[in-house]
Amino acid sequence: MNDSDAVAIIGAGTMGWQIALQLASYGTPIRLYDRDPSVVDTALGRIREHGASLAAEGLLPQRAADLGDLVSGVETLAAAVDGCWYVIEAIPERMDLKRELFVELSRMTGPETILATNSSSFKSRHLADVTVHPERLMNSHYYNVPWRRSGLELMTCGVTDGKHMERVAALARRSGLVPVVAEAESTGFVFNRVWHAVKRESLKVVAEGVASAEDVDRLWCLSMEAAIGPFAMMDRVGLDVVLDIERHYAEQSGEPNDAPPQLLIEMVARGELGRKSGRGFYTYPSPAWERPGWPRT
C-alpha cells in the first residue's frame, strides 16, 4: 500500500471513526477530517481504544491493535482529499450541509476521484447537480459497527460509472465487508427502507402506550432470534440522527403516517440522544439489554 491508496473521510463523528477503523485495519491509509478539530482528536482516541479491544476479540485483524500512522487526522478539507481516490462524506443527515460540502469537494478533486455519501436515506442523485462530473458520485452506506454489521450498500446517482462502483465494492471485499448494490434508486436503499418501517411502527407502539421500549425490544429479540431490538439500535444510532432520517422519509412520501412521533421529537429536544448522551430509550453505560440473561430477565 502507498499513499495513492489513501481514502478521505469527511466527518469524524459516530460513523467517521468507525469507517476509518474498519478500512485501516485491512491496510487502507485514511485521512480523517472534521470541521470541529476536537472531534478528530476524540475519533483518533476511539480508534486506538476500540482497535485494540476489537483485535483482541478477533472482530478485526491484529493490525487494528496498532494502526501506526495509517490513520491521520488532518486540519483542512483540502489536506484530507489531496491525492485520495475515494472520498467518503459522513457529515449530518442534512441535505443543505451535504450540498455545500459537495460543491467544495468538486472544486478540490479531479474527475477520477470517487465522491460518495454515507447518507442513511438520501439518494446521491440529490447531490448530482452540485457535483462536477457526477459519473464519479454514488451512495456508499456503511453500517454502525461495521465489524459486526458488515454489509455495505452501494447505489448509483443515476449516472455513476460502473467502474467506480466496482472499485469501491472491491475495497469492501478486501476490508472484511460484503457489498450489495441496489438495483434501482430508492430512498433508504435496501435495508434502511425495511428498517424505516420497523422504526416507525416500534415508535408508534410506545407513543400509543401499548408497550414499553424495553418490552418491544424483548419481544423483538425473542421473536427474531436477535441480540438487540429496535430501541437499543436507535439509541446506538443517535436519536437526533434517527429524527433527521425520519423527517426526510416523511418529506419524501408526504404521508402523515410517516411523520416522526412527538415522543421522539421531545426526547431529542431534552438532549436524550441515546448512547452518546448517556440517556435515550435506555440509560447508559448499563442498559437493560446488556444484563446477563436478556431478553428473558
Ligand X SMILES: NC(=O)c1ccc[n+]([C@@H]2O[C@H](COP(=O)([O-])OP(=O)(O)OC[C@H]3O[C@@H](n4cnc5c(N)ncnc54)[C@H](O)[C@@H]3O)[C@@H](O)[C@H]2O)c1
For ligand X, the binding residues (CB under 6 A) are: 10-16, 33-36, 39, 90-93, 97, 101, 118-120, 143-144, 237-238, 241, 245
Closer Cβ to ligand X, 93 or 135, answer by number: 93
Residue sitting closest to ligand X (CB) = 13
Closer Cβ to ligand X, 220 or 249, answer by number: 249
Closer Cβ to ligand X, 80 or 213, answer by number: 80
Closer Cβ to ligand X, 150 or 211, answer by number: 150
Closest distance to ligand X from the beta carbon of 210 (Å): 26
Closer Cβ to ligand X, 91 or 157, answer by number: 91
Closest distance to ligand X from the beta carbon of 62 (Å): 26
Calculate the CA 16 to chain-centre distance: 8
Closest distance to ligand X from the beta carbon of 225 (Å): 22
Which residue bears the cell 423527517? Answer: 247
Closest distance to ligand X from the beta carbon of 277 (Å): 12
Burial class (CB in 10 A: 0-12, 13-18, 19+), 266: exposed
Q: CA 2 to CA 18: how far, in whole Å?
A: 22
Closest distance to ligand X from the beta carbon of 42 (Å): 9
Closest distance to ligand X from the beta carbon of 117 (Å): 7
Q: What are phi and psi of 137, to 5 degrees?
A: -105, 140
Which residue bears the cell 450489495? Answer: 180
C-alpha cell read off for 164: 467506480
C-alpha cell read off for 199: 422504526
Closer Cβ to ligand X, 104 or 161, answer by number: 104
Calculate the CA 160 to chain-centre distance: 21
Q: What are the CA-CA distances from residue 196 to residues 69, 108, 187, 263, 267 (Å)?
A: 38, 35, 10, 16, 19
Q: Where are the alpha helices (DSSP H) in 174-229?
A: 191-207, 213-224
